[in-house]
């Protein structure tokens, strides 16, 4: 035991520094968790939650950065040698860790410019999801679609490097607000009463959307409108309306169901679909 202590004596300063760093980092992480828990209890909106998480993430990054500087200064003794070593390290790290460094820079851009927040629905290339977390290196998405058609959560988590903001087109569904313009297309036959068909479709949208309209801000239009297209098999009646981005799939399904039942109850409006009909004409007696 004495021999081991004698062998470790020359390294006692290094051991002391390592223990100090470990203890300091552990205490900091524990304090950060307590602060995070208390702050999240006091916030309500997704913007406030994002602000808390971004602030704590930035605080953690700054702490680690200064901790590394202090370790180098304590070990090498002066800033002159530290500058030389830092220069060599920056070159090596720049080559070996190009992607991670790009991710950190991207994270800084995301947190300062607020391109998107936790809770926003975004699409990166063909991946769509709701942001659940933003870290120094990755954006975590609760996937929407993926294993299914439509825009419901699949249950999978997708991790995208934050550096993707430099390489890919990103669509944010809820950057300014949570409302987007969508459309539903209904095909009717040329023999149908077009005016009545438009009335049925518009009233169906109004019936389903009315409870949601009560919470719409004033700047979002509430009334739906129609557009028409002539096709080989019939007339396409397209109804466009603003809806909640995160609930668009369920709301659209309720509207389609209402349209279907109302048209089925009507005698002079019929759905159009690709099919063939044979019309036989009787010859007139000569």
Residue 285 domain-assigned (yes or no) = no
According to the 3-state scheme, what is the secondary structure of the chain?
CHHHHHHHHHHHHHHHHHHHHHHHHHHHHHHHHHHHHHHHHCCCCHHHHHHHHHHHHHHHHHHHHHHHHHHHHHHHCCHHHHHHHHHHHHHHHHHHCHHHHHHHHHHHHHHHHCCCCCCCEEEECCEEEEEEEECCCEEEEEEECCCCCCCCEEEEEEEEEHHHHHCCCEEECCCCCCEEEEEEEEEECCCCCHHHHHHHHHHHHHHHHHHHHCCCCCCCCCCCEEEEEECCCCEEEEEEEEEEHHHHHHHHHHHHHHHHHHHHCCCCCCECCCCCCCCCCCCCCC
Residue 102 domain-assigned (yes or no) = no
Query: What does each of the 286 residues of the chain score in pLDDT, given as a tens digit?
Result: 445 545 545 556 666 667 777 787 788 788 888 888 887 777 666 666 766 777 777 677 777 777 776 666 666 555 555 555 556 556 555 554 566 667 777 877 887 777 788 888 899 988 999 998 888 788 999 999 888 777 788 889 999 988 888 888 888 888 777 899 999 999 999 999 999 999 999 999 999 999 999 989 988 999 999 999 999 889 999 999 999 988 888 999 999 999 999 999 999 999 998 777 776 777 666 5
Residue 81 domain-assigned (yes or no) = yes
How many domains does the chain divide into? 3
Q: 138 with 196, same domain?
A: no
| Structural domain boundaries enclosing 79 | 7-96
Tell me the pTM: 0.61
Residue 236 domain-assigned (yes or no) = yes
């Amino acid at each position: 035991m004495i021999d081991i202590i004698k062998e470790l004596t020359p390294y006692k300063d290094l051991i002391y520094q390592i223990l100090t760093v470990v203890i300091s980092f552990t205490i900091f992480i524990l304090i950060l968790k307590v602060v995070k828990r208390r702050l999240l209890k006091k916030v309500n909106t997704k913007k406030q939650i994002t602000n808390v998480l971004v602030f704590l993430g930035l605080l953690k990054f700054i702490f680690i950065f200064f901790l590394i500087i202090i370790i180098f200064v304590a070990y090498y003794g002066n800033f002159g040698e530290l500058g030389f070593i830092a220069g060599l390290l920056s070159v090596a790290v720049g080559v070996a860790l190009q992607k991670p460094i790009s991710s950190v820079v991207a994270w800084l851009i995301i947190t300062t410019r607020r391109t998107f927040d936790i809770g926003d629905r975004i699409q990166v290339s063909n991946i769509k999801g709701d942001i659940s977390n933003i870290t120094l290196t990755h954006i975590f998405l609760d996937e929407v679609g993926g294993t299914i058609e439509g825009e419901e959560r699949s249950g999978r988590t997708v991790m995208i490097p934050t550096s993707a903001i430099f390489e890919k087109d990103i669509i944010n569904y809820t950057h300014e607000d949570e409302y987007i313009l969508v459309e539903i297309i209904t095909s009717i036959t040329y023999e149908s009463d077009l005016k009545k068909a438009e009335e049925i479709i518009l009233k169906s949208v109004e019936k389903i959307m009315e409870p949601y309209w009560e919470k719409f801000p004033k700047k979002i239009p509430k009334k739906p409108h129609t557009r028409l297209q002539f096709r080989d098999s019939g007339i396409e009646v397209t109804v466009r309306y603003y809806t909640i981005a995160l609930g668009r799939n369920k709301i659209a399904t309720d509207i389609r169901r209402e349209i279907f039942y109302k048209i089925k109850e009507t005698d002079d409006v019929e759905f159009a679909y690709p099919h063939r009909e044979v019309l036989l004409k009787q010859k007139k007696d000569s």
